[in-house]
Amino acid sequence: MSTAESESPDVVLIGAGIMSATLGSVLKELEPALDVVMFETLQDCAQESSQAWNNAGTGHAANCELDVAKEDWGLAEYLIGQVLQTGSHQLKVLEQFYPEAQRQDWREAVAGQRVQIIKPGPHHSGSLEFGTEVVGSTDNSIVALLGASPGASTAAYIAFETLEKCFAKERAGGWRDRLMTIIPTYGIDLTKDAAATRETRAQTAAVLGLTNV
């Protein structure tokens, strides 16, 4: 990738975090001749959401809760308290809004802690969305991420979704075969293909030195 300014680059990436790094690396693998330019206001790469000690408003970084605690212990105490709540504590909170609530009528569900966005739904209603969505202009010459700032676990998926939006013609051509070389399971739904899932887990475990279960 180019660090110098170009008059007419093929691709411009804003921010030098894990998302731009993943997308830029894949693009150069697919088409080495592409002029890819990355802009970053900080002194180094991966210093915001990708940086372990920086909260950046996402809560995804490994040590960010400790970083928050030193500045705002009250917030950290609240977050820890929420995680440690028992079923009886949760029922007491529910009773504040619904006094007739009975424990046997309710079950616990893990909802996660994601940034939420409300999108227009059918019949002028709103639709509550979680996580991150890739949105683009009409011609998909500009794309951006809407919602939560994604972490490393979703970077590859979102990078390929961006490729599908911005480079549909190239992907339909020679890029598809190269993508399948980079990621052998590209285009395979691992939630439905049990054999591919087992094979991928075994290969990943071997590379990472983990016990395959």
Is residue 133 predicted with pLDDT exceeding 50?
yes
Is residue 52 predicted with pLDDT exceeding 70?
no
The strand pairing partners of 144, in sequence order, are 135
Is residue 209 predicted with pLDDT exceeding 90?
yes
Is residue 29 predicted with pLDDT exceeding 80?
yes
Is residue 173 predicted with pLDDT exceeding 50?
yes
Q: By the 8 A CB rule, do 166 and 142 touch?
A: no
- For the stretch 175-195, pLDDT in tens is 888 888 888 888 888 889 999
Rounded CA-CA distance 197/87 in Å is: 35
Res. 211 pLDDT band, cuts 50 70 90: very high
- For the stretch 92-132, pLDDT in tens is 888 999 999 898 888 877 665 555 566 676 776 666 666 67
Is residue 167 predicted with pLDDT exceeding 70?
yes
Across 126-197, the runs of DSSP E, i.e. the strands, are: 126-130, 132-136, 143-147
Question: What pLDDT is stored for residue 117 in this prediction?
Answer: 61
Is residue 77 predicted with pLDDT exceeding 70?
yes
Rounded CA-CA distance 178/8 in Å is: 26
DSSP track, 8-26: S-SEEEES-SHHHHHHHHH
Question: What pLDDT is stored for residue 195 in this prediction?
Answer: 94
Rounded CA-CA distance 35/45 in Å is: 19
By CB neighbour count within 10 A (0-12 exposed, 13-18 middle, 19+ buried), where does 150 fall? Answer: buried
Question: What pLDDT is stored for residue 62 in this prediction?
Answer: 47
- For the stretch 78-96, pLDDT in tens is 767 777 888 888 888 889 9
Q: What angle do CA 170, 176, 179 make, to 5 degrees?
A: 115
Res. 200 pLDDT band, cuts 50 70 90: very high
Rounded CA-CA distance 44/94 in Å is: 46
3-state secondary structure of 146: strand
Is residue 153 predicted with pLDDT exceeding 70?
no
Element (H, E) at 117: strand 116-120
